[in-house]
Amino acid sequence: MRTKISFIQYFSIFVSALVISCKGGAGGDLIILETTDLHGVVLPWDFTEQKEIGVSLASIASYVKKVKSETVPVLLLDNGDNLQGQPSVYYSNFIDTVSTHINAVAFNLLGYDAISVGNHDIEAGHAVYDRLVGEYDFPMLAANAVNTSSGEPYFKPYTIIEKRGIRIAVFGMVTPSIPQWLPPELYSGMEFRDMLETARKYMPLMKKEKPDLIVGLFHSGWDQRSEENGSGSHYDENGVASIAYNVPGFDVILCGHNHNVVNTAIVNSAGDSVVIIEGGSRAQKIGRVDVSFKRDKVTGKLKASAAGSIVDAGDYKPDPEFMDAFHDRQAAVNEYVRKVIAKSEAEMSSRESYFGSSSFVDMVHSIQLAITGADISFTAPLSFDVSIPAGQITVGDMFKLYRFENMLYTMWMTGSEILKYLEYSYSDWLNTMKGPEDNLLKFQRTKDGKILIRNGEAWLKNQPYNFDSAAGIDYIVDASKPEGKRVTIKSFSDGTPFEMNKRYTIAVNSYRGNGGGGHFTEGAGISASKLPERLVSSTDKDLRFYILGYLEEQQTIRPAALNNWKIVPEDWVRKAATRDYELLFGK
- 312 secondary structure, DSSP code: E
pLDDT at residue 227, rounded to an integer: 46
Inter-axis angle of helices 359-372 and 543-554, to 10 degrees?
90
Strand ranges across the sheet with 565-568: 487-492, 473-478, 565-568
The residues, any chain, with a CB within 8 Å of residue 473's CB and separated by 6 or more, are 376, 418, 489, 490, 491, 492, 493, 498, 564, 565
Please report how many Cα atoms fall inside a 13 Å half-sphere around the Cα of residue 528, on the Cβ side: 16
pLDDT at residue 224, rounded to an integer: 62
Cα 186 to Cα 183, 516, 542, distances in angstroms: 6, 15, 11
Residue 222, helix vs strand vs coil: coil
pLDDT at residue 516, rounded to an integer: 93
Q: Distance between CA 362 and CA 368 in Å, rounded?
A: 10
Cα 477 to Cα 166, 484, 561, 565, distances in angstroms: 62, 11, 17, 8
Q: Distance between CA 193 and CA 190 in Å, rounded?
A: 10
How many residues appear in the chain?
587
Burial 27-57 (b: 16+ CB within 10 A, else e): ebbbbbbbbbbbbbbbbbbbbbeeeebebbb
pLDDT at residue 225, rounded to an integer: 54
Looking at the chain, which residues constitute the CATH 3.90.780.10 domain(s)? Answer: 339-585
The residues, any chain, with a CB within 8 Å of residue 142's CB and separated by 6 or more, are 116, 117, 153, 154, 155, 156, 157, 172, 173, 174, 219
Cα 381 to Cα 144, 468, 508, distances in angstroms: 33, 8, 13
DSSP assignment of 23-46 equals TTT--SSEEEEEE---TT--SSEE
Print pLDDT tens along the chain (587 aa).
333 444 434 444 443 443 333 333 345 899 999 999 999 999 999 999 999 999 999 999 999 999 999 999 999 999 999 999 999 999 999 999 999 999 999 999 999 999 999 999 999 999 999 999 999 999 999 999 999 999 999 999 999 999 999 999 999 999 999 998 999 999 999 999 999 999 999 999 999 999 999 999 999 999 765 444 444 444 578 889 999 999 999 999 999 999 999 999 999 999 999 999 999 999 999 999 999 999 888 887 888 999 999 999 999 999 999 999 999 999 999 999 999 999 999 999 999 999 999 999 999 999 999 999 999 999 999 989 999 999 999 999 999 888 888 999 999 999 999 999 999 999 999 999 999 999 999 999 999 999 999 888 899 999 999 999 999 999 999 999 999 999 999 999 999 999 999 999 999 999 999 999 999 999 999 999 999 999 999 998 899 999 999 999 999 999 999 999 999 999 999 999 999 999 999 87
| The three-state (H, E, C) secondary structure of 496-555, written as one string | CCCCCCCEEEEEEEHHHHCCHHHHHHHHCCCCHHHHHHHEEEECCCCHHHHHHHHHHHHC
| The three-state (H, E, C) secondary structure of 108-160, written as one string | HHHCCCEEECCHHHHCCCHHHHHHHHHHCCCCEECCCEEECCCCCECCECEEE
- Whether domain 339-585 has CATH 3.40.50.300: the reply is no
* Domain covering 28-333: architecture: 4-Layer Sandwich (3.60)
**Residue 130 identity:** D
Looking at the chain, which residues constitute the CATH 3.60.21.10 domain(s)? Answer: 28-333
Burial 549-564 (b: 16+ CB within 10 A, else e): ebbeeeeebebebbeb
Cα angle for residues 55, 59, 60 (degrees, 5° grid): 110
Q: Distance between CA 65 and CA 74 in Å, rounded?
A: 10
Please report how many Cα atoms fall inside a 13 Å half-sphere around the Cα of residue 315, on the Cβ side: 8
Q: Distance between CA 419 and CA 75 in Å, rounded?
A: 52
Q: What are phi and psi of 480, to 5 degrees?
A: -85, -10
Helices (H), 310-402: 320-324, 327-337, 359-372, 395-401
- CA-nearest of 66, 40, 68, 23 to 315 is 66
